[in-house]
Amino acid sequence: MSQAFINTFQQLYAAQPDGLSSAPGRVNLIGEFTDYNLGYVFPAALNFRTQVLFRARTDQQMVVHSQNYPGESDRFSLQDPITPGPSQWGNYIRAMVYVLQQAGFTLTGADLLIDSDVPQGAGLSSSAALEVAIGGAFNQLSGLALTPAQIALFGQQAENQFMNCQCGIMDQMISAQATAGHALLLDCATLATRAVAIPPELALVIVNSNYPRKLVDSEYNGRRQDCEQAAAIMGVSTLRDASMDLLQQHKNAMTAQQYKRAHHVISENARVLATVDALQQSDMTQLRLLMQASHQSLRDDFEVTVPATDGLVEICQTALGSKGAVRMTGGGFGGAIICLCAQQDVVLVEQAVAAHYQARFGLKADVYVCQAGAGLTVQTFAA
Ligand code: GLA
């Protein structure tokens, strides 16, 4: 955290902050759109983080500024009904207040200053990082005694109940619970987790397509409905409980779309577990085949890729050949792709993206070479 960040807080609020809450964005290695079907996911936190300086107020007001949106701010009273406000980023803070109050918690007013280097609109969970960091700040300020997992669940509720996004639990859970240097196998049915070390020679290379994401929430929520309908037709409560055999038995009772959505989810769950083994064995051939199959399934069955992300995957996979594993990552409809490769081969990705992406798609991509970061941290400052 920089001194300039603290100085800005002091200038805005004429006081020292009480503490700092910090939560990361994430990249998903594999297990896409499986979380809300109560399946498996395998994400890692990034070293990009959202930081929140906080200070208690005594007047039941919540005042919020963000270094990412200079000149904008939000202010609301904890005694009034919580409704959407003037700024989209400010609504994430309102959403966290809303769900915590609904759960019966009494919150203390606060002065907040946010700063984030999580790329926005890239499918790297900048919103989950904000929700979890805010949850960590409120937990400390109001003495809520929440566990990181509970903070994550409130972050998901904030999306589901206030932000109109019917997302699963993956993004908030990895942001709250990550271990540095590890990916996290999460069973979304039980919320059991297992940290799996990422071999140190492996780089997490993220390429942001910068494709403008549009109508993402409505498409996202529509996919979730397809999955729920497919599960209902098969007589299971979620797709986690369905097998390929069961799917084939009910194929004729489904629309082609429902069948394809379910086919993706059932096959993806199996790929997650196989990927955990392949990563532990540093088996690049298996990793490549599994990530390739995941991408094809997301393209053809779940239909959440766009030509720009399909093209980026092809460019990077061609450049890496047998030395890397590549697929789209995150919520789709643009966003980013992930390449797993040795540190010394990152340059192959950088060169290939520079040579071919803009020429083919008219967009400039950003390449981030990341390490797996740690989850939520909250610290208080000595008075
Ligand atoms: C978004 C959602 C997650 C998950 C992914 C797709 O990131 O927030 O819950 O569904 O999309 O895997």
- Render each residue's pLDDT in the chain as its tens digit; 383 residues: 789 999 999 999 999 999 999 999 999 999 999 999 999 999 999 999 999 999 999 999 999 999 999 989 999 999 999 999 999 999 999 999 999 999 999 999 999 999 999 999 899 999 999 999 999 999 999 999 999 999 999 999 999 999 999 999 999 999 999 999 999 999 999 999 999 999 999 999 999 999 988 768 889 999 999 999 999 999 999 999 999 999 999 999 999 999 999 999 999 999 999 999 999 999 999 999 999 999 999 999 999 999 999 999 999 999 999 999 999 999 999 999 999 999 999 999 999 999 999 999 999 999 999 999 999 999 999 87
Looking at residue 215, its pLDDT comes to 67
Helix axes 256-280, 216-234, angle to 10 degrees: 100
Annotated catalytic residues are 171
pTM of the model: 0.97
CA 152 – ligand 1 centroid, Å: 14
CA 162 – ligand 1 centroid, Å: 17
Q: Among 157, 171, 173, which is best to mutate for testing ligand 1, by the most ligand atoms less than 8 A from CB?
A: 171
Cα dihedral 222→223→227→228 (10° resolution): -30
The answer to whether 205 touches 339, Cβ cutoff 8 Å, is: yes
Shortest-distance atom of ligand 1 to CA 169? 9
Looking at residue 213, its pLDDT comes to 82
Ligand 1 contacts CB of residue 131 (under 6 A): no
Ligand 1 contacts CB of residue 32 (under 6 A): yes
193 pairs with which residues across the strands?
Answer: 186
* DSSP 8-state secondary structure symbol assigned to residue 118: S
137 C-beta neighbours (distance < 10 Å), count:
28
Between the alpha carbon of residue 260 and those of residues 47, 235, 242, 243, 298, the distances in Å are 35, 17, 14, 14, 10
Ligand 1 contacts CB of residue 174 (under 6 A): no
Ligand 1 contacts CB of residue 155 (under 6 A): no
CA 60 – ligand 1 centroid, Å: 34
CA 116 – ligand 1 centroid, Å: 20
